[in-house]
Structure 1
Amino acid sequence: MELSKKYSDPNSTMIFYDKLSDKELAVLLSNKDRSAFTEIYNRYKAVLFLHSLRMLKDDLEAEDLVHDLFSALWTRAEKYNIETPLNYYLYRSVKNRVLDVFAHKKVQNKHMESLQEIIESGSYITDNTIREKELGKLIEREITLLPKKMREIFEMSRNQNLSHALIAAELNISDKTVKKQINNAIKILRNRLDLYVFFNFFL
């Protein structure tokens, strides 16, 4: 008996979704059967979480990834190709999403490195683009908000291109203090510039 007829028969007994095969659940899913979706979720959520966790090494990222995967599965349920084995589709989806996360992090890290180079060198305008000019203004504004002594040391290093030793001698402090103040300034600036800045100004 065909699945559609089997479950549309008013005289048939209650459907026990946990007894259905993946293939049967996939057919019902493609017809937007919410109970079938719930069974798929309950059947695979734990193993998919562990699968993604092994690759991401982060509980929250793995949890978010699996949640987004199932949200997308339900949203596009009617387009699901029932010829594709459900377990294969889900595992492949996890892998693809993990690769997307890695790619995103790679881009993000690249932008963080670019920002640090810009902060340290003061080279805000390399090709006269509007985005870089705006980023330069943003960084300059944040520099003015640094603690007074930290700002002074940072600007002596960045603007006057003085070595740590020369700054230490001029301010009568240790080289170690100079290095710490400059590193703290860079850390503060990076923390203040939210991630959206990178995507607005570098992408």
Structure 2
Amino acid sequence: MKTKYYHTCSDSELMIFLLESDHNAYMEIYNRYSKGLYMKTLQKVGDKDESKDLLQEVFTALWQNRFSLTIDTPLGGYLYATLRYMIIKRIAHENVRANYLSSLSQLSLIDDVLTDGLVRERELKQVIEKEISLLPDKMQKVFRMSRERHLSHKEIAFQLGLSESTVKKHINNALKSLRVKLGAFSILIGLTLTHLFF
């Protein structure tokens, strides 16, 4: 067949020419199937540019894999199966990307919560420090030795020349006073005083 009238060729004949790397046969296959494949792609993905990209991938795959095809491969079936594979692959990629972005978003949210928590903790420290500074001198000194220097009741009593029961009373009164003065923060006070001063 010296002159090839590609538009009159059957799919099987076009496949034979394609196996011979006949680019004109390839273009005839493109002209014959691209519109239907494009409409199918657009229906599935709903985006014109993405549909064009997928269509290009399908026909690129056809050319690159031409030597692995057999003459009895149904051309239309092969192209639609390739398209289906490309769409599934694209959706899987988008899902991975969406999950990755969602993970980043969640990490960002966690960062915001942690930052907010640190800011609140710093503010609470300042409020507590202010209230501690307003305690009576002796009570304040005992309280700071206990919470900041981590001394035992016995050590504080020895250094200040007080009885252990007096030291204990100063610390209990200091905590009681702080809980009352810090009212709205009272739920957090126990935990915060533990973290800040123990």
Give the aligned CA root-mean-square deviation in angstroms.
Answer: 2.0
Q: Determine which of 44, 55, 59 is the counterpart of 2:33.
A: 44
* Matches of 2:72 and 2:92, distance apart in 1: 30
Report the secondary structure of 2:116's partner residue: coil
TM-score normalised by structure 2 residue count: 0.57
Q: Partner of 1:97 in structure 2?
A: 86
Q: Considering only CA atoms, is the larger Rg found in Structure 1 or Structure 2?
A: 2
Report the secondary structure of 2:83's partner residue: helix
- Residues 86-131 of structure 1 deviation map (CA, whole Å, 9 limit, x = unaligned): 0000011111111111111111110011000111102xxxxxxxxx
Please state which structure has a larger fraction of its residues in helix.
2
Report the secondary structure of 1:161's partner residue: helix
Q: Which stretches of structure 1, 4 residues or more, deviate above 6 A after TM superposition?
A: none
Q: Does 1:159 align with 2:148?
A: no
Q: Does 1:119 align with 2:144?
A: no
TM-score normalised by structure 1 residue count: 0.55
* Matches of 2:90 and 2:11, distance apart in 1: 28
Tell me the CA shift for residue 46 of structure 1: 0.8
Q: Does 1:110 align with 2:66?
A: no
Gaps of 5+ in 2: 120-198
Aligned residue-pair number: 120
Query: Aligned ranges for residues 1-203 of structure 1 at < 5 Å?
Result: 7=1, 12=2, 14-122=3-111, 157-161=113-117
* Matches of 1:56 and 1:160, distance apart in 2: 41
* Matches of 2:33 and 2:71, distance apart in 1: 17
Identity %: 31
